[in-house]
Amino acid sequence: MQLAGINTRNLANGLYIVNNYPKYLASQYFSTEKIKELQLRKLKFILQTAINEVPFYKTLNLKIDFNNFSEIELQKFPIVTKAIIRENYNSFISEKYVNKKLQYKSTSGSSGQPFKVPKCYYSDGIEQCMMFRAWSMNPAFKYSFHKPCIVLRSFSPKVGEPPFKVDKILNYWYLSPFDINQKNLGTYVQFIKKSKAQLLRGYPSSIYILTLLLKENNIRLPQIKTLFTSSENLLPHYKKVIQEYWQIPLIDWYGQNERTVTVQICEYGNYHNNDEYGIVELDENNQIIATSLNNNIMPLIRYATNDIAIPAKNKTCSCKRGLSIPFAGIDGRADDLLIKDDNTIIATVNIYNAMEKFPDVKQFKIIQQTDKSIHLFLSENTKLSQEYICNIEKELKQRLGNVLITSKVVNEIERNKNTEKIKSIESLIKL
Ligand SMILES: [Zn+2]
């Protein structure tokens, strides 16, 4: 609905941020018990909505005890996959919203099949509060609306356009992730200085490439207080290079388009779940099973995300936040696992660990073909000798067995033009 030219839903979400962001800033430091209490209240509402209003759950006839409610009740719900939802799409939508005009979050998905989830009314406002809170996890820099930030993502200039632009309303200073090179470095540095931004956001790969260039040219940017990465896997060797150079908090964020759970690293390097937003479980394969605490239109309960986590050994953190620690990191997508010559499935973390041993490699991309052979693409920090490449192949064969590896040195590992992202490991084998 438009009111005097203003979209009322956007306005309501803007007001939601103003009213609720301070509350979210406070609740991260609540005691674990108090956060659990808050989470249980929201969980109960969502599960009641599912049982009373959502045809898929109504027909399951689940016996949920809402009188003596605890999180154990969640376990009575089945795990649902994207395929199950796709097949029964309308029966996952609350009867209250049938035939209503809904707004959606869409995802193309790695399978290429589009998938969309209706957004609850305040979805954008809630998402933004979580983002702002994550951007503020460094005690030395608190983000608030309209503070400038550099955005090294979500911008792909057309031919002939400069590799930068400014969104004055949001005070976002965009730099193209496609044009980070020696030729543009001066322009990028000047633009960053002019913005006076203290927050630098980008894909792990775009911040990594910028860092390499700054290092090579011995340029420091002390104005930047916080680095924020999201949307790609933060590879160990990216993280190491970035942290060594900047020596400031690097906040990495995990979330999905379906908006079920969001998780970020705090200034002490631990991943914290936003417990007011969603619940994380790990299944026996360490796949993230996510429950949204906000979506009352299409409750996503125990939703199989296809993302594989690295389990956390340490569940406490010195930052004093009461937010739980659900995992130690993200390993990759469940459907991007590699297959060994004897058909054993290999978690991609093994490959990342192997590649960490080769600092002369700037970036890599591995594509496993349907016959299990590997196409390896390498860009170089320093010239890669044949012997060096042979050693990389040997390391990979140690993990993947006797598969054929074809290596090629390229100028740069290209970003996907549609997603803007770089996917380091891909498999064409569909399990
Ligand atoms: Zn922490």
Q: Using the mean position of ligand 1's atoms as its centre, give its distance from the Cα of residue 320 in Å.
A: 7
Q: What is the percentage of the chain residues whose pLDDT exceeds 90? A: 75
Q: Alpha-carbon distance 164 to 194, whole Å?
A: 12
> What pLDDT sits at residue 110?
47
Q: Using the mean position of ligand 1's atoms as its centre, give its distance from the Cα of residue 379 in Å.
A: 35
> Is pLDDT of 394 > 70?
yes
How is residue 241 annotated by DSSP? Answer: H
Name the token pair of 327: 């995992």
Confidence of residue 384 (pLDDT cuts 50, 70, 90): very high
Q: Using the mean position of ligand 1's atoms as its centre, give its distance from the Cα of residue 268 in Å.
A: 5
List the domain boundaries for the chain.
Answer: 337-427
Q: Using the mean position of ligand 1's atoms as its centre, give its distance from the Cα of residue 27 in Å.
A: 14
What sign does the dihedral 304-265-191-218 (CA atoms) show?
Answer: negative
More confident residue, 93 or 359: 93
Q: What is the pLDDT of residues 302-322, one digit of tens each?
A: 999 989 899 999 889 999 999
Q: Using the mean position of ligand 1's atoms as its centre, give its distance from the Cα of residue 137 in Å.
A: 9
> What pLDDT sits at residue 31?
97
Least confident span in 3-17, 188-202, 336-350: 336-350
Assigned architecture for domain 337-427: 2-Layer Sandwich (3.30)
Buried b (16+ CB within 10 A) or exposed e, 341-350: eeeeeebbbe
Q: Using the mean position of ligand 1's atoms as its centre, give its distance from the Cα of residue 100 in Å.
A: 41
For residue 178, CA distances in Å to 156, 158, 192, 213 come to 7, 11, 17, 14
What average pLDDT does the structure give for the chain? 92
Cα–Cα nearest to 347, from 360, 338, 355? 338
> What pLDDT sits at residue 332?
75
Q: What is the pLDDT of residues 193-248, one digit of tens each?
A: 999 999 999 999 899 989 999 999 999 999 999 999 998 888 888 899 999 999 99
> What pLDDT sits at residue 108?
56
Mean pLDDT of 378-384: 92
Q: Alpha-carbon distance 282 to 291, whole Å?
A: 11
Amino acid present at 133: R
Angle, CA 223 vertex, CA 220 and CA 225 arms, to 5°: 105
Confidence of residue 156 (pLDDT cuts 50, 70, 90): confident
Name the token pair of 396: 């990979």
> Is pLDDT of 117 > 60?
yes
For residue 385, CA distances in Å to 184, 222, 361, 381, 407 come to 29, 36, 11, 12, 12
> What pLDDT sits at residue 353?
77
Q: What is the pLDDT of residues 59-107, one digit of tens each?
A: 999 999 999 999 999 999 999 999 999 999 999 999 999 989 999 987 7
Exposed/middle/buried for residue 75 (C-beta within 10 Å: 0-12, 13-18, 19+): exposed
**Cα 238 from chain centroid (whole Å):** 15
> What pLDDT sits at residue 4?
63
Collect residues with CB below 5 Å from ion ligand 1: 266, 268, 270, 317, 319
**What's the whole-model pTM score?**
0.86
> What pLDDT sits at residue 371?
94
Q: Using the mean position of ligand 1's atoms as its centre, give its distance from the Cα of residue 279 in Å.
A: 17
> Is pLDDT of 112 > 80?
no
